[in-house]
Amino acid sequence: MKKNISSRLILLCLVVLCFACKAKKEAAPVLTTVPPEASNKTESIKAISENAFGFRTLSAKAKIDFKLNNTSNGANLNLRIRNDEVIWMSITAIAGIEVARVMVTPDSIKVYNRLQGEYLAKPFSFISRYSGRNVDFNTLQSLLLGNTIKGSVSQASEINWSGNQTVVKSSAKDLIYELIFNEHYKLIENRLRDSKGQQLNGKYSEFQAINGQNLPYSISLLSNAGNKNVRIDIKYSSVSVNEPVDFPFSVPKRFTVKD
């Protein structure tokens, strides 16, 4: 990873995960709408809910590739989550040297950059400068695990069936969703856009069983905003759930606090 990486670049990575993008409109898939008599909408919603990845704590190791326009940075990611409470990330260079550490809660975001000796602490609402006011902690957590975002699937949603795929279209809190699920009701594509045209496309594949549940080991998040093209690829190599985890975040006194 290049040594000129900054806390703002790390934050940008996080923001893109949260929905900071404006992408070209993609062609919609050809779908056949099945009447309610043939396919039960309520049962599909129930299956989607039951097949969401559930956990109390999660610990994972991954390789992450972040591409901004023609610049690419590869790194290793150590991820720890306490469901709905804390997301903790340690980012290391390929050589094994820790580059940065990130801790996110529903109320705050903290980042420190070892290479630059910088520390950034902001309320979670800081992300809204880049992503929109409707982005919250749950959005980020769901995108990292391939779960649906709260409010994106309900009885008010439009549901279509095509072969072995289920497509859900809905809107909530100024966000418009198009979600595609496989035959096991696992999310394989998640398209979001807001009323201003900002859009994010997440793709999920290479599912593996963890404690009887399926988790995508390959995640690709695509966006472009103006003249910025962003892609984040995450490849999990190991995942464990419901084991004790801690979230160390001690900032050295020599670090400079950034605005």
Share of the chain above pLDDT 70, in %: 78
Tell me the CATH number for domain 7-246. 2.50.20.10
If we measure between CA atoms, which residue out of 103, 55, 58, 101 comes closest to residue 77? 101
pLDDT of residue 152 exceeding 50, the answer is yes
The pLDDT of residue 145 is: 94
Provide the residue type at 148 as one letter.
Answer: T
Average pLDDT, the chain: 81
Find the distance separating the first CA and the last CA of the chain, reported in whole Å. Answer: 24
**What is the token pair recorded at 74?**
């590869």
Place of tokens 């670090």: 255
Model confidence at 45: pLDDT above 80: yes
Q: Per residue in 212-221, pLDDT tens?
A: 999 999 999 8
What are the residues whose beta carbons fall under 8 Å from the beta carbon of 190, sequence distance 6 or more? 143, 146, 148, 149, 177, 178, 179, 180, 200, 201, 202, 203, 204
- With tokens 């994010």, the residue in question is 200
Long-range contacts of 210-217 (CB under 8 A, 24+ apart): 210/53, 210/239, 210/240, 210/241, 211/241, 211/242, 213/51, 213/53, 213/54, 214/51, 214/53, 214/184, 214/186, 215/53, 215/145, 215/146, 215/239, 216/145, 216/146, 216/186, 216/187
* pLDDT above 90 for 79: yes
Highest mean pLDDT among 19-33, 71-85, 191-205: 71-85
Is residue 25 pLDDT above 70, yes or no?
no
Question: What is the C-alpha separation between 157 and 74, in angstroms, rounded?
Answer: 38
Q: Which residue has the tokens 């790390």?
A: 10
Average pLDDT of span 103-117: 90
Domain ranges of the chain: 7-246
For residue range 2-12, list pLDDT tens digits in order.
433 344 445 55
The pLDDT-based confidence of 38 (bands split at 50, 70, 90) is very low
